[in-house]
Structure 1
């Protein structure tokens, strides 16, 4: 959630941030009204509690006639105190809900608008011109069949639409990508993590995913558990309810986990192949750092993502995502989109978001800072960045590095993870 002081002291700034996302300022008005009600409820309760304590001191000193009146007043006041305490509790819940409904304030550099209003920051590499090479590129579905790498039919038979099997070199390719990503992260100083894919509601709420994509989340029937759509969720909750030592920051984690998404609202989109699926594996970078270092850390995460895509020899572009397309927890987000030859366009492969202190306030994560001889606790920032989402990365590799005979050239950086193999050969004749 946002800093309550910003809401109280700079409500117009919050309204402007909501407008940048294409949202009305009604949430600000509701939150301010809830805050006023909460403050009044606190005062009412404290006044009645103070009166109750004062009466308690007077009763032993009172005369018999006065004592009867004081006892009657004490009895009535006890009910009033109880009602005031309940009203304060209700007002506190309403205030927190109103505050939680306000998304993070978008960065100054974030473009205003919706999904199509992104700004292209750079393009890296040149998409292959297959016409100049004299052949029409095959899509990843056809290549997957030729290579014995992707089995969509049996995926649908076993689990339903938008599921798949990776087989043979497909499975080997995912394992190679996981190892390449984890090795890069470890060499950059990240702690490797295998993260749980099931989390409690607090983790989902704390990261903003029940606000952002509740319809896209799988909940386990009969259990108070959710399947995660990204390991950002368990990693954000990893240090929940903790006070960290500021001297240890940044804490950088690289977490591997399966990811599950219902893909609600995507009916008819990307129905062919493994671009948009209900389950995929991913290596996610997650960082805890100080607020003053968050923006610089965001640039570092983007640089690590770019370095990984360049190892895979992919043509890609970097976009600054518009405010209306940010999740509620993000202050800013960069996407790296790889060129997909058969689609003739760039598609998101990785993204990185700066969530400032939005998630840590919800999850009660702070750091202890030293100011000379004095110590204080204060909020910190979280950031996340996809290093490798397996299915889309496999799509980009197969389509980008395919050859006329249906084989696929292996990028040099991946070859050591595939036993030195330079080419993936078809097992079926084209």
Structure 2
């Protein structure tokens, strides 16, 4: 959640942020009213308790009719305190409920607009001209089936639509990508992690995935646990309810985990192959840091993502994501879109978000700084979403004979192999 002080000192900034997100501006006025009611209720309760405490001392010194009157007042105050306490709890609950709906404050400079209005800020690499090479590129599924790398038919048989099995060289390719990603991240100072893929509601709520994103989340009601759509959830909650010493910041983590998404609302989109699936594995970077360093860390995470894509020799663009497509927690987000030859366009493969103090406030993660104890900032960045990176490797590095060239950076993790050869 945002710092409540912004509602009081600059509500117009909060209104502008909501408007930029395409979210409810009226929510700000509802919050102002709820905050006033909450503070008024707290004041009433504290005033009554103070009087109750004062009368308690007077009763001990009084006698006769005076004592009887004081005892009667004590009884009346007790009832009022009970009523005021209940009213305060109700006011706090209403305020908290409304605050949980409020998105993070959009940072200055974020382009306004919706999903398709992000701004391209950089293009790296040049897409191959397959026509000049004398052949028409095949899509990743045709290539993957010929390589014996992807089995959609049996994946569907086992689990239903939007499921798959990586077989043979496909499984080896994921393991190679995992090892490359973890090696790179470790060189950059990240601590490798393998966190749980099942988390409590508090972790999911704290990272902002039970609001507008709840429709994409898998829930296990019998256990009241959620399957994560990203290991960001576990890595954020890792330090929940903790106070971190400033000298230990930043905390850099990189996790490998399965991710599960309902893909609600994507009916009919990307139904062929493994681009949009219900389960995939991912390597995710995460940082807890001093808020003053958050924007610098955001650029660093983007830089790591770019280095990884460049190592895989895949052309890509960097987008400054528009305000209406940030999600609840991000104050700014950069996406990398890699070139997909058979669709003749760039498609999203990585994302990095600066969530400022938003998630830390919800998860009660604080730092002990020279100026006192206050919330830290959290940031996340995808290093390798396996299925989409495999797609980009197969399509961008395919050869006329159906083989696929292995980028040099990946070869040490595939036993030195330079090409993936068709088996049928």
The TM-score with structure 1 as length reference comes to: 0.97
Matching residue within 361, 384, 387 for 2:383: 387
Q: Separation in 2 of the partners of 1:126 and 1:268? A: 30
Which residue matches 2:421? 425
More displaced 10-residue stretch of structure 1: 72-81 or 234-243: 72-81
Do residues 104 (structure 1) and 104 (structure 2) align? yes
User: What SS class does the counterpart of residue 334 from structure 2 fall into?
Assistant: strand
CA RMSD, 1 decimal? 0.9
Which residue matches 1:232? 232
Which residue matches 2:62? 62
Which residue matches 1:399? 395
Which residue matches 1:41? 41
Which residue matches 1:199? 199
Contiguous gaps of at least 5 residues in structure 1: none
More displaced 10-residue stretch of structure 1: 17-26 or 145-154: 17-26
Once the two structures are superposed, the pairs formed by residues 3-402 of structure 1 within 5 Å of their partners are 3-370=3-370, 376-402=372-398
User: What SS class does the counterpart of residue 116 from structure 2 fall into?
Assistant: helix
User: What SS class does the counterpart of residue 258 from structure 1 fall into?
Assistant: strand
Give the C-alpha shift of residue 181 in structure 1.
Answer: 0.2
Q: Separation in 2 of the partners of 1:359 and 1:166? A: 34
Q: Separation in 2 of the partners of 1:153 and 1:325? A: 34
Q: Separation in 1 of the partners of 2:61 and 2:249? A: 59
Give the C-alpha shift of residue 283 in structure 1.
Answer: 0.3
Give the C-alpha shift of residue 94 in structure 1.
Answer: 1.1
Give the C-alpha shift of residue 53 in structure 1.
Answer: 1.2
CA displacement, residues 134-171 of structure 1 (integer Å, 9 cap, x when unaligned): 11111011111100000000000000000000000000
Q: Separation in 1 of the partners of 2:418 and 2:386? A: 20
Give the C-alpha shift of residue 321 in structure 1.
Answer: 0.2
CA displacement, residues 345-376 of structure 1 (integer Å, 9 cap, x when unaligned): 110010100000000011111111125xxxx1
CA displacement, residues 156-214 of structure 1 (integer Å, 9 cap, x when unaligned): 00000000000000000000000000000001110000111000001001100111310
Give the C-alpha shift of residue 63 in structure 1.
Answer: 2.5
CA displacement, residues 204-232 of structure 1 (integer Å, 9 cap, x when unaligned): 01100111310000001311210000000
Q: Separation in 2 of the partners of 1:284 and 1:174? A: 15
CA displacement, residues 325-344 of structure 1 (integer Å, 9 cap, x when unaligned): 00110010000000001111
Contiguous gaps of at least 5 residues in structure 2: none
Which residue matches 2:409? 413
User: What SS class does the counterpart of residue 112 from structure 1 fall into?
Assistant: coil
Number of residue equivalences: 424
User: What SS class does the counterpart of residue 286 from structure 1 fall into?
Assistant: strand
Give the C-alpha shift of residue 427 in structure 1.
Answer: 0.2
User: What SS class does the counterpart of residue 209 from structure 1 fall into?
Assistant: coil
The TM-score with structure 2 as length reference comes to: 0.99
User: What SS class does the counterpart of residue 210 from structure 1 fall into?
Assistant: coil
More displaced 10-residue stretch of structure 1: 90-99 or 188-197: 90-99
User: What SS class does the counterpart of residue 193 from structure 2 fall into?
Assistant: strand
Give the C-alpha shift of residue 74 in structure 1.
Answer: 1.5
Q: Separation in 2 of the partners of 1:42 and 1:221? A: 36
User: What SS class does the counterpart of residue 282 from structure 2 fall into?
Assistant: strand
Give the C-alpha shift of residue 79 in structure 1.
Answer: 1.0
User: What SS class does the counterpart of residue 370 from structure 2 fall into?
Assistant: strand
User: What SS class does the counterpart of residue 404 from structure 1 fall into?
Assistant: coil
